[in-house]
Chains A and B, each alone.
Chain A
Amino acid sequence: MLERILILLLFLIGFAGIVGMRNIIKKIFGLTIINSAVVLLFIVEGSRIGNSAPIIDAEIGLVVDPVPQALMLTAIVIGVCVTALALALAFRLYKAYGSFDIDEIHRQVHRES
């Protein structure tokens, strides 16, 4: 139970970062953190039903659930791809408006248009 509470806490910290941080790089940090939290949740919970890695060789006991592991491989990679694209956009925003501050960027965008 403690593990679940800690993972939820991690998720909420990341989410608060996305919503509350003004620096867009920190918002991207938050996105990475909530992604990690969900991946951790899948793996931690999926590992409760077995006691050996899902690789079948000789006589092994019950393996952990391999399905969440395979799904999380995909989710991790997709998360990093989105992060990279977000960073490229953040780079462009910095070059155009000279700041990582989301309010400052908003202000400049709306002043110009």
Chain B
Amino acid sequence: MKFTGRFTVSPESSVFSLVMLPLLGAALVMLAKAFLKGRMAAGMQFTAMLVGLFGPWLALLYTFPLVWSGLTVEGVIGNWSGVVGITFQFDGLAWLINALGYTVAGAAWIYSLGAGPRGPVFSSVFLIQTAALAATAMTADIFNLFVCLEVLGIASYVLVASSEKNGAFLASFSYLMVSASSMVFFLAGLFGLYRLTGSLSYSGISQALLALPDQGGGLAAISLSLIIAAVAMRVAMMPLYGWLPDAHALAPHAVSAVLSGVLIKTPLFALSRIMLIVPLGAAAAQLLGYAGAATAIVAVLVALSQKDAKRLLAYHSISQIGYVVCAWGAALDLGMDTMAGQHLMTAAFLHAFYHALFKGLLFLSIGTSTDRAGSRNVYTLRGAASTLRQSGERLPITLLSFIIAALAISAIPPLNGYASKIAITYSLKGSWQYWVLSAASIGTIASFIKLSRIFWPQPARIRLMATEEPSAVFMPSVATARHSGLPAQIVPGPMTDTSAVKRANLPVGISQAMLALACVASGLAAPWLYGFVLRLLDSAASLGFTSLNPGPALYTADNLLKTLYMVLAGFVLFRLAVSALGSRLLSLVRDRHRGFHGLFLSFAVGLSVLCVWLLLV
């Protein structure tokens, strides 16, 4: 259909409706809360969520032909002068990040309809977070990036605190202090860059730096590393991930899915926009890529040693983001104008996208199972499958979702994780990162064999133990009530959080089924999707590599054989890990609570290493 009248939607407007629609939804939720009561308010809130989370798809569809044909929607917001105004850039990469964000946010919201949280404050903050993701994806101005990151941050502190689990307030507080302080360092870096260049837009900064003698020298290097370190903090990379396990493990399940699936990746891809054009960007990306490989292997070892199911998943998020960062760093190091760089970036994005799908599914299915079973201890919980059946789930959707997601993260064909991991290792073949990532994959398989034991039937001995001591994990609210001294109606009893989940309900099933189908479908359609992402990223660089090299072949005998070996190795590693010696060794690497200052020490160390690296190259 063509618009023939005078009224046409400009590309710029449709791009900004990606940000404005969720914000409008948030405003509607607040209006509903302020002016309406009861069913009317609930109905309006529901409508607002629909507008905010699914309306942007229209804008994405509308802008797709533009992006596909290689155009970039760019300009200055409000048509002001570019010297001071805010520049934005909507290209294939931004389109892809938005598509990723709205997919996961939509599924997480449907899940939250069934399992909570669902208050108006939650809804509006959730929508605002989604809007900030969209804005982060398309900004090309460094101070605007700061504002977007702050909005993302403050929304996620509130969302993490909205959990009623024990320790969620501490997790939220630690996350807030670390990330707010790192944002002050971001400002200091911004000061350095502004002092050197007098400009705030990415293109202005890079042009001014290139014009300077010595390209800005030490000040430019240090300012850049301050900014990169602050963003890397949000991405939870190697030395800076200390805040993540608590925050992600204690948040409500739907929030965990969004935090792990989208929130830690968007800053990374937003950062690539400035790293590509600033001198020294490639060198910084190289170091980050190395840190990513290290993250992948270290985090998977720590994950293998966890006993809390959701903490295990949180460590896997760190490990998987390590894969993404490794490929992303290598891509930026090579440059997006090389074919290998394009393929690596495609692989990185594809893995980020697939990880969002299967990790979201993992958080939702493990969350549902552990809530119904009443325990999250990987070592003692058994028979979760039968618990699910008893709770009235006639179709074993949760169990099937878990199986699909676990197979996907373990890179078993034909699921999506297989395709993206093959894509990453294909481009890295021959380098040391290839071997590190392969080892990390073996660890992933082993730890998911370990996690899947919670669904195995219950042996008699453990059943006895389980009835004797009810799990401690699920009594937090009582403890809170006891300590806070508040009357009982303010602090809800232990069951309020889970009562909704105790019975099988439709939204929980639907959201899991949606994500499970997406995992299978995106696995089957992986070659096509690879070409799609490559083409979109390519159109951003407009070089036309797509036709030259369509990407890796998936189901070669070589790859399948390698997968078989990895599964065998994973099983061996699992046996080792649960053996007496293995569990003693693993308890050494289990996350020591290094305390609050440990978080800052790792930040300071990471920051200074990055500085030294950039000053030396």
**Taking beta carbons and an 8 Å cutoff, which residues of A are in contact with B?**
15, 18-20, 24, 27-28, 31, 34-35, 38, 41-42, 45, 67-68, 71, 74-75, 78, 81-82, 85-86, 89-90, 92-93, 95-98, 102-103, 105-106, 109-110, 112-113
**Could you list some 15 contacts between A and B, CB below 8 A?**
A15-B181, A19-B600, A38-B187, A45-B191, A71-B143, A78-B150, A85-B157, A86-B180, A89-B157, A89-B161, A93-B173, A106-B170, A112-B166, A113-B167, A113-B472
One of A27, A38, A74 near B177 (C-beta < 8 A): A27
- Do B476 and A112 touch (CB < 8 A)? yes
Q: Mark B145-163, 1 if CB is under 8 A from A, else 0.
A: 0110010011001100100
- Determine whether the beta carbon of A31 is less than 8 Å from that of B147: no
- Residues on A with beta carbons closer than 8 Å to the beta carbon of B473: 113
A96 touches B600 (CB 8 A): no
- Check if B170 sits within 8 Å of A112, measured CB to CB: no
By the criterion CB–CB under 8 Å, are A45 and B195 in contact?
A: yes
Q: Which residue of B lies closest to A110 (CB)?
A: B593
Please determine whether B167 and A35 come into contact, CB atoms closer than 8 angstroms: no
Residues of chain B from 153 to 195 with CB closer than 8 A to chain A in the complex: 153-154, 157-158, 161, 166-167, 169-170, 172-173, 176-177, 180-181, 184, 187-188, 191, 194-195
**Are the CB atoms of A109 and B173 closer together than 8 Å?**
no
13 additional A-B residue pairs with CB within 8 Å, beyond A31-B181, A113-B476: A18-B181, A31-B177, A35-B184, A41-B188, A71-B143, A86-B177, A89-B161, A89-B169, A89-B173, A92-B169, A96-B169, A96-B483, A102-B596
Residues of B within 8 A of A34 (CB): 181, 184
Bound state CA distance, A82 and B476, in angstroms?
Answer: 26
Residues of A within 8 Å of B483, CB to CB, are 95-98
B479 within 8 Å of A (CB atoms): yes
Given the interface pairs A89-B176, A113-B166, the reply to whether A95 lies near B479 with Cβ below 8 Å is no
A112 to B146, CA, bound (A): 37
Minimal beta-carbon separation of A42 from chain B (angstroms): 6
With both beta carbons as reference points, the residue of chain A lying nearest to B188 in the complex is identified as: A38
B612 beta carbon closer than 8 Å to chain A: no
In the complex, what distance in Å separates the CA atom of A109 from the CA atom of B476? 10
A18 pairs with B177, CB closer than 8 A: yes
Contact of B173 among A18, A24, A38, A42 (CB under 8 A): A24
What bracket does the count of chain B residues touching chain A fall in?
35 or more
Q: How far is the CA of A35 from the CA of B476 in the complex (A)?
A: 35
| Residue from B161, B167, B180, B191 within 8 A of A42 (CB atoms) | B191
- Chain B CB within 10 Å — which of A20, A93, A113 has the most? A113
Contact at B485–A38, with CB atoms within 8 Å? Answer: no
Bound Cα distance A77, B416 (Å): 44
> Could you tell me if A105 and B170 are in contact, using CB atoms closer than 8 angstroms?
yes
Report A76 CB to chain B, min CB distance, Å. 11
Q: Which residues of A contact B600 (CB under 8 A)?
A: 18-19
Report if A20-B177 is in contact (Cβ < 8 Å); known contacts: A67-B84, A112-B166, A113-B166: no
Distance from A79 Cβ to chain B, minimum over Cβ atoms (Å)? 8
Chain B residue contacts of A71, Cβ below 8 A: 143
Question: Smallest CB-CB separation from A103: which chain B residue?
Answer: B595
How close is A60's CB to chain B, nearest CB, in angstroms?
A: 19
From A45, A78, A81, residue with most partner B Cβ within 10 Å? A78
A98 to B181, CA, bound (A): 26
- Which residues of A sit under 8 angstroms from B476, Cβ to Cβ? 112-113
What CA separation (Å) do A28 and B153 show in the bound complex? 17
Q: B480 at the A/B interface (Cβ < 8 Å)?
A: yes
Q: Does B484 count as interface, using CB distance less than 8 angstroms?
A: yes
| B152 CB, min distance to chain A CBs, angstroms | 12
Q: In the complex, what residues of A have CB within 8 A of residue B158's CB?
A: 85
Q: Name the residue on B nearest A82 (C-beta).
A: B180
Nearest chain B CB to A90 CB, angstrom units: 7
Scan B111-151; emit 1 where CB is below 8 A from any A CB, else 0.
Answer: 00000000000000000000000000000000100110010
Residue B486 lies at the interface, judged by CB distance under 8 Å to chain A: yes
B394 beta carbon closer than 8 Å to chain A? no
Chain A: minimal CB distance from B97 (Å): 23
Per the bound structure, the CA–CA distance linking A28 and B173 in Å amounts to: 10
Query: B573-615: which have CB < 8 Å to A?
Result: 593, 595-597, 600-601
Query: Are B176's CB and A86's CB within 8 A?
Result: yes
- Residues on B with C-beta less than 8 A from A81 are 154
CA distance A98 to B157 in the complex (A): 22
The residue that A68 contacts in the complex, of B147, B170, B181, B194, with Cβ under 8 A, is B194
Minimum-distance CB pairs A-B, first 7: A95-B484, A109-B167, A89-B173, A19-B600, A96-B483, A82-B180, A92-B169
